[in-house]
Structure 1
Amino acid sequence: FDPSSTLVRPDLRVLVSSASHNTYPRKMKHDDVIIVPELFGREDDWSLYYRLVDEMRDSQQKQDVRGSEWISWHEGAHLISKNPKGSPTFHKIIDRLCEYFKIRRESIGTRFNWYRDSCDWKPFHHDSAAFNPVRAKNQNITVGVSFGATRELAFIRAKPFEDEKKCRLYFPQTNNGVFSFGRDANILWKHGVNALPESEQDGKGRISIILWGLAMDVVEEEGSPSLLGSDGQGPHAQRDHHRGGRGYSGGRGYGGRGGGRGGRGRGHHRQYRRDSDGGDGRDGYDRNHCDNRRPGEDGVELEGGKGRDDRRQF
């Protein structure tokens, strides 16, 4: 047995950190997945979820923030707001995430996702820093915070194993919890939010706020994968010195193949409502049944922030 055979980089490294820290206490690496339960409060406290929904509703009703309206995304899989700056809570959340993960404010891009109820989901995709060299210069981490109902964040290995099988990893995203993954994880894996079977659908909604940016003091290691092509299916033409073998004992490959987009869904808008019974997590849009939206296996939905900071000062 040769102990040096263990000195190789992993495909993914999963770490759990504490909400008691002001900042993440370890050096980050590009393979890291970091889970921080209850960074924004107790798991059973839904107050931030409802506050975000109410602030977004008020901003939209006042019509004083252009782009704050809900729009259909990923072919009707869920809703986003492209401009949530009318929500003071949103900005406080972004401030805390930047502080915890030591992310440069000038580098960030954000996304406000609303999964209206348990029918919504998100197809597998790479964030755009996996293939866009401009964004890759300013984004080496993806951070997501979840409010509301628990949903599974799924990772699928972009490049199949030799037997053509793909590894799948599921991480439940609980209320007030935070999840991050590094640059190389974004290239080698696709991620999405699993759909729920009908037997588990309870009508409860979920908000996820996504932050892309440049985390400081991240450890650079030999053997990182090259960027993907613009179609998500190959090494980018502009390769750098990080490409090549993984760790001490050989190559890890270039990351991922794209594949077909997920099943098409209905992307029409619905009238907002807030249930009056309060506290049960039910919210969203009037509808009598879930849309016929079926998850696709390998959608090449390529996402990423624009590097703009719409921060409101307090």
Structure 2
Amino acid sequence: MNLIVETDIGHDPDDFFSICYLIAAGVNVRAICISPGDPDQVAIAKLILKQIGLDIPVGISHENRSKLSSGSIHHELLKKYGMKLTENPDGMGCQIIEDTIKKYPDCEFLVIGPATNVGKFLKDKQDICFESVTMQGGFLPYSLYKPFWVCPNFEGKEWMPTFNLNGDRPAGSLFLSSKFKSRRMVGKNICHTILFDKDKLNDINPKCTASLLFKEAAEMYFLKHDSKKFHDPTAACLHLHPEIGLWFKGKTIKNSSGWTTVADYQGDDILADLDEEMLWDFLLNFK
């Protein structure tokens, strides 16, 4: 599988884990496009690529950024590997996507950040149908489908704000109205119940440099935290293994300051539930 990743890496370790997982699982990641593209975000992406020995372009959505915006384990990893806290991108993300699609026309997309780069790329391409895409975002209310595990905060909620769609609402709307062979939305109605915790450290089965980097980052993270919600890696895994999800046919639409789903039998695949045992088997064994 050839894949372009849209990410806000550095703002949450989820993105770091996701990219390491994808590469370890054998995905041909062809480009990483970062929103907004702060210099330390670029440095973190290039850390992964340098350690793995992968030569692919890293693009950004906004030029001339100078602010450092990353936190958590990211600067610690850069210091450990003797890398600068800032790096330069290889170009604008929308152009990198354009060039990558020309080279690999079967490229699929994973969106685990605001869809700014993808949105700019899609702006004048509303008549073109692209390959499959999965986005971590959206919300399927329990009134439409109640999963086995529920989050009490979502009981009675018909819409919720979701970070990646709200991070660039015009780009999010353009992404949702564009044509893809399949579009999957992996929302917080499920992701908020998927917890990566210390108990799972011993279950990580690294098999290559990317998976070793995943485990190293996890060990570093759990020195200061007990668990984290695993939003983006869940979406990454479901892009590779949609068969472990239960999907509701619908459309993601804006509602007040958030997003919801309306039923549509010709619509997108909206995650309604999943086989969590299989999810962890795939994630921790890098399959």
Superposition TM-score, scaled by structure 1 size: 0.26
More helix by share: 2
Which one has more relative contact order, counting CA pairs under 8 Å at least 6 apart?
Answer: 1
